Amino acid sequence: MKKEAQHRAHLALFSVIEGGQVYWSNEVREFGALDVYERLLNETYDPKKFNILINRAKSVDIDRLEALLEKSGAVFLTPHSTDWPVALNDLNAIPIGLVVKGDVSALSDRSLAIVGTRNPTAYGIRIAGDFAAGFVDREWSIVSGGAYGIDSAAHKGALIAEGRTIAVLAAGIDVAYPAGNARLFAEIAENGALVSEVLPGAHAIPSRFLTRNRLIAGLAQATLVVEAAFRSGSLRTARDAAELMRPVMAIPGPITTPTSEGCHRLIGERAAEIVTSVADAVELITSL
């Protein structure tokens, strides 16, 4: 019963605490979800500072949340779950939980994150697909963010090569965002997994793209940036991976192309290793 109570407390906290918050992640890790949840309900935490959160916690209907997950065909994982991807435990803000639709075991595959711009060139699309297929052929899975552009090319490259791919979403697993990728998400759920740090039905907001980037970096053994502008969310994913001491690689492009400026910036700052082939990338990762 204690295990079930902890799981339900994780779900309750997950529903009211936005992902990526180091303070609450540490509280749950140190004291346990059940204790933290009860302290919120009892207003042991500062009722002035945490007034909104306390009121949200008091209004949680855990049975309704469990029904919502079941209706969405998803499962809720916590760090205590058997299928929890332990690679995420290296993060500063370990997720309180994850909503997963598809094959949960895919989250623990040996995987490469492929990220990049939403407005790629034909060169970038081809490279993302080729690298995804090349790693799938070597029995790796591909992790990306489900966005248009490089993300979609990477997911599709993995699927075409009959491999597994994981899309880490900034919205609920049942919210097709972007809408044009609804069919792609359905294919990913059949061959890999959709992952989210928000409940089904939740919509994407700007901050959730940043917090989900750390999950992409955390799930993968290495990260590859294919094309990215000088200021790009993909660079944040690369920095998240570097903070975890995991290999970061970047594809070079023409010096006249804005979509390669971010990759060249990473390479120039020695924040990423330059790679020009799948064999290069595999050798780099396995040699570290």
Each residue of 24-48: pLDDT tens digit? 999 999 999 999 999 999 999 999 9
The answer on 135 and 247 residing in a single domain is yes
Give 237-288 pLDDT, tens digit per residue: 999 999 999 999 999 999 999 999 999 999 999 999 999 999 999 999 988 6
What are the strands of the beta sheet with 141-144, ordered from one edge?
75-77, 98-102, 193-196, 165-169, 141-144, 111-115, 222-225, 248-250, 273-274
Under a CB-based contact definition with an 8 Å cutoff, are residues 184 and 142 in contact? no
Q: How confident is the model at residue 236 (pLDDT cuts 50, 70, 90)?
A: very high
Establish if 218 belongs to a structural domain. Answer: yes
Whether residue 78 is contained in a domain is answered as no
Task: Report the share of the chain in percent with pLDDT over 90.
Answer: 96
124 lies in some domain: yes
263 shares a domain with 201:
yes
Helices assigned H by DSSP within the chain = 2-16, 22-31, 33-41, 51-58, 62-71, 122-137, 150-160, 182-191, 206-219, 233-243, 261-268, 278-287
Residues with Cβ within 8 Å of residue 286, at least 6 apart in sequence:
none
**Token code pair at residue 224:** 């590859």
pLDDT at 186: 97
Q: How confident is the model at residue 1 (pLDDT cuts 50, 70, 90)?
A: low
Same domain, 115 and 248: yes
Which domain, by its residues, includes 40? 2-71
Same-domain check for residues 180 and 279: yes
Q: What percent of the chain has pLDDT over 70?
A: 99
Mean pLDDT, range 42-67, rounded to an integer = 95
**Last-in-domain residue among 71, 93, 120:** 71
> Looking at the domain assignment, is residue 252 inside a domain?
yes
Nearest CA-CA partner of 113 in 146, 89, 82? 146
Indicate whether 54 and 148 sit together in one domain. Answer: no
CA distance 175 to 89: 27
Q: How confident is the model at residue 153 (pLDDT cuts 50, 70, 90)?
A: very high
Say whether both 110 and 64 belong to one domain. no
What's the CA gap between 34 and 19, in Å, rounded?
A: 18
pLDDT at 163: 98
Query: Does 271 share its domain with 154?
Result: yes
User: How many other β-carbons are positioned within 10 Å of the β-carbon of residue 288?
Assistant: 11
Asked whether residue 84 is domain-assigned, the answer is no
Give the per-residue pLDDT at 138.
97
Pairing, β 222-225 against β 111-115: parallel
Count of structural domains, the chain: 2
Domain containing residue 253: CATH number? 3.40.50.450
Residue 201, CB half-sphere, CA atoms under 13 Å: how many?
A: 8
180 occurs within a structural domain: yes
Domain-located, residue 45: yes
- 89, part of any domain: no
